[in-house]
Structure 1
Amino acid sequence: MTRRADAILFDKDGTLFEFGATWNAWGRAALQSLSAGDEALLARLADAIRFDLCRDGFTADSPVVAGTAAETADCLAVHLPGRSAAEIEHELSRSAANAPLVEAVPLAALLAQLNGMGLTLGVMTNDSEQSARSHLGRSGVHDAFRHIIGFDSGHGAKPAPGPLLAFATAVGIAPERIVMVGDSPHDLEAGRAAGMQTVAVLTGPIGVERLAPIADCVLPDIGHLPDWIVTAP
């Protein structure tokens, strides 16, 4: 069997887990907790992180979509005098670890198939490593991945290539033989900067028109990866 790659590095939110179904309800709850019943403050906080209160969802340009928890906390801290960004980040991370998870596809079966094909799997997310491990553990797929890297794992965050190159070094696979799979420009820009192949999926809030120009391929979801991996380019 001829393969395009020897390893796959996944983004988490919007890629392994469907973004809207997982994070929109969490977003409103987190904002309501931070605003403590102050409707005007709720509106300011929602605007700061681009959460549409009318449709109960994050917009495509929200820092929550592709940024780190620290970046989101910085945006919120401006409107919460007396609370540090670090304190807000800790509160967000604690609640995010218990967010309702909706898998983009049945993960256990897909990851078992990819591992069975001899592929090395990893996760690089701009979420915290602790939150990522919690989510993957709750879904029963933590052990399917060789490495799980968060923005706080010591290698930086996307769109910088550092954490992707750290994964390549750790598994001993050349970057060009690794596929970075994600739902945001940050994922794909990081993959390109690292010299990896890039695959976009449409299970996040960002549409094909923004992803296609920086992706080698756009797939509806990660369930299409096995066929793509073994299809000659």
Structure 2
Amino acid sequence: MSDLRGIKGILFDKDGTLVDFQATWFAIGEMMALKAADGDQAQATALMKAAGYDFSAHCFKADSVFAAGTNADIVALWYPGATDSERSDLIRMFDQVSAEQGSAKAVPLPGSKDALASLHSAGFRLGVATNDSTGGAEKTLLSLGIAQLFDAAYGYDAVANPKPAPDAIHAFSDLTGLKPKEIAMVGDNRHDLEMAKAGGALAIAVLSGTGTRESLTPMADVVLDSIADLPAYLAREA
């Protein structure tokens, strides 16, 4: 196990880490796919599969476009013939839909609120780094009643380069005055762990989202079932 005694700040991925990804996003993804398919259910199903939904397992695949990508990635996949102007309009529309619907339908993972409150009370600086939009992340934190626990939320549109680039780690470091080695990045996808490694932060994997133990362990310094286990783990390592 890695030594976490120097950790003073924690960046969390949002979907699959704070929020139940499957419960929150399938209906929203299907709605967006139906719009992209002009109401054709068969085409919408094909788009969902292309974006990473496994209909036989009833879940999103680990590291798929929908699980780990941005709305820009989804637009590029679903609208390959769009012009630059059309693509920009579509991204804005997807950002608005995902921000409004994602926050309204957000299902917190069991124990996540208590864990975050405990970490905040213990003095850890907390942030969110997501490939959702910044507005979507902020709305979700507000709807879950946990926004006051966080110093900042960084969406893909808040930094020059989204995950797996380390830009959000650098931004959080600048904001808090913490060194990257004093920051842990917690997430359920390889993108999260790759960002941690690229930014010099500690990589903590959780198995509460789309990632599996097999897909995450090679990149992780620590693997936990969920963030509900994080306060006790950090206290034990202190």
Residue 90 in 1 paired to residue 103 in 2? no
Instruction: Kindly provide the amino acid, as one letter, of the partner of residue 222 in structure 1.
Output: I
Per the TM alignment, residue 212 of structure 1 is displaced from its structure 2 partner at its CA by 0.6
* Residue 67 of structure 2, aligned match among 52, 65, 68: 65
**Residues 122-179 of structure 1: per-residue CA shift (max 9 Å, x gap):** 1111111011111111111112101111110134211111221111111001111111
Q: Per the alignment, in what secondary structure is the counterpart of residue 205 of structure 1?
A: coil
User: What do you get for the CA RMSD once the two structures are aligned?
Assistant: 2.2
Which has the higher mean CA deviation after the structures are superposed, 22-31 or 209-218? Answer: 22-31
Measure, in 2, the Cα distance between the counterparts of 1:3 and 1:49. 39
The alpha-carbon distance between structure 1 residues 146 and 187, as it changes in their structure 2 partners (threshold 3 A), is same
Question: 1:15-164 residue pairs with structure 2 within 5 A?
Answer: 15-53=17-55, 56-78=58-80, 84-97=86-99, 98-99=101-102, 100-164=105-169
User: Matches of 1:94 and 1:56 in 2, distance apart?
Assistant: 26
Is 1:188 aligned with 2:193?
yes
Distance 2:233 2:19 in 1: 20
In 1, the alpha carbon distance for the partners of 2:63 and 2:192 equals: 14
Contact in 2 for aligned 1:4/1:232 (Cα 8 Å) = no
**C-alpha separation in 2, matches of 1:83 and 1:45:** 22
Instruction: Select the residue among 5, 8, 16 that pairs with 1:6.
Output: 8
> Residue 231 of structure 1: which of 222, 233, 236 is its match?
236
Question: Which of 219, 222, 232 matches 1:217?
Answer: 222
Partner SS, residue 204 of structure 2: strand
Q: Among residues 179, 187, 190, which one is paired with 1:174 in the alignment?
A: 179
For 1:175 and 1:232, the matched residues in 2 are separated by 19
d(CA) in 2 for partners of 1:72, 1:111: 30
Shift of 1:66: 1.0
For 1:218, the aligned partner's letter is V
1:104-124 Cα offsets, whole Å, 9 max, x none, are 134432222111111110111
Structure 2: gaps (5+ residues): none
Q: CA deviation at 1:40?
A: 4.3
Matches of 1:82 and 1:52, distance apart in 2: 30
Secondary structure of 1:192's aligned partner = helix
SS at 1:230 equivalent: helix
| Residue 217 (structure 2) pairs with residue 205 (structure 1) | no
Output the amino acid matched with 1:15: T
Unaligned runs of 5+ in 1: none
Higher mean Cα deviation, 121-130 or 162-171? 162-171
| Structure with higher helix content | 2
More off after superposition, 178-187 vs 50-59: 50-59
Normalising by structure 1, we get a TM-score of: 0.91
In structure 2, the residue corresponding to 1:231 is in which secondary structure? helix
Residue identity matched to 1:72: I
